Amino acid sequence: MTSLVSPLTSPSSPWLVPSSKTTTKKNCSSSRRCFRRPVIYLRSSSTPPNPDLLKSITKLLWGKSLPPQLLISTVRASWNGGWKLMMSQLAPSDSSGGFSRPISQFRSDSDSFRRRSNKLHLYVGLPCPWAHRTLIVRALKGLEKAAPVSVASPGMDGSWEFKEGGGAAEGGKMSGSLDKGGNGCANLKEVYRSRRGGYDGRATVPMLWDVERKDVVCNESYDIIELFNSGMNDFAENPSLDLAPQSLKGKIDEWNQIIYHAVNNGVYRCGFAQTQEAYDMAVSELFDALDLLDDHLGGSRYLCGDALTLADICLFTTLVRFDLVYNVLFKCTKKKLVEYRYLHDYLRDIYQIPKVAETCNLEAIMDGYYKFLFPLNPGGIRPARPSDCEDEALLEPHKRQVLSSMDRSMQVTA
């Protein structure tokens, strides 16, 4: 970059060099000197700017007061305009300013799934709660070999990219990876574009890929966990585990309707609200639902009784991020999860099921939200992890087994 350097500036001079050299105009009286306006010269240097000099320049330009009101109002208007533009792409809104989640473009059911090849590949991102639910069901059913996974990491431009060890590492937990077993692509957008017929829409996780047909099987998280639960038992190491038994189907559907709108999507409706009214409605519905869940779980080990179901897994992936991210970044501040009498123990109960904790890279989750959701956290500063979200705290005894009439091993064997 070409720099403007005063001929009088030596190589050791700082980046900003003020000049207040005086001059006497031809028609000025000798008793009255005319001052030339200070000029600031810029130069390129690897040496950081002198803070004292910057302070002096700031005082010279603005005096002892804050920047002029015009500057503040201009920056505010520019930022608001830019923020709304970014939010319109990141989080589309309805006419009231409420977050409107785009629908998944690739849906699948058990029948169409069975007509496909047996070579499947799962694409996920660790910060994403929707992708997290697929990792948990995959682990509990023992489908790691039948559905290999590529773990994408958030990119600075908002995309999902593949890099070895991408994202924060946490002992024994999953971390970012290259797309070795899938398509060998650099980012998820390339994977979607490589499908038969191409695709130029939103590249989202989770996504289940048909390796032989080079096509997207599904990118709707609930469809994928249903397929993993009941559609791949021939390849599962734990085929007897049923997370959605027919006898509980009605209860599972009822809980999912509450959980999806008010909790799973509810935290995003709080965080991505673009009007005060939309936020107020979302936060009220969220905490009403959490109060309802806490009351119910005071007398039931899991949502549908003694057995862990898909509804519990869908709730868990939001709860494990609540105090970690949503309470602060998404303004879900009315109450922390740890303040609930039963919800936090319920969270620990599921976290301690074999294989579940391995899918919970809490460092990667925090990085994914605080460092890459630029419209919500422009500075990219990541707060300290809450003490109730430390691994040691999540592994403390929960005593929820007293609510169950069955032995734990009869519920989940992973």
Q: Rounded to the nearest 5°, which phi and psi values hold at 154?
A: -65, 140
Angle at 350 between CA 345 and CA 355, to 5 degrees: 145
Give the list of residues 6+ apart from residue 78 with CB closer than 8 angstroms, or none. Answer: none
Are 369 and 329 within 8 A, CB to CB? yes
8-state DSSP, 159: -
Residues with a known catalytic role: 128, 268
Measured between its terminal Cα atoms, the distance across the chain in Å is 59
Asked whether 207 and 179 are in contact (CB, 8 A), the reply is no
In which region does residue 23 sit, left (phi positive, over 0), alpha (psi from -120 to 50) or beta (all else)?
A: beta
Residue type, 371: K
**Cα Rg for the chain, rounded, in angstroms?**
28
Which amino acid, residue 273? A
Q: Helix, strand or coil for residue 137?
A: helix
Give the whole-angstrom CA distance, residue 180 versus residue 162.
9
* Nearest one of 290, 150, 265, 286 to 206, comparing CA atoms: 150
**H or E segment at 217?**
strand 215-218
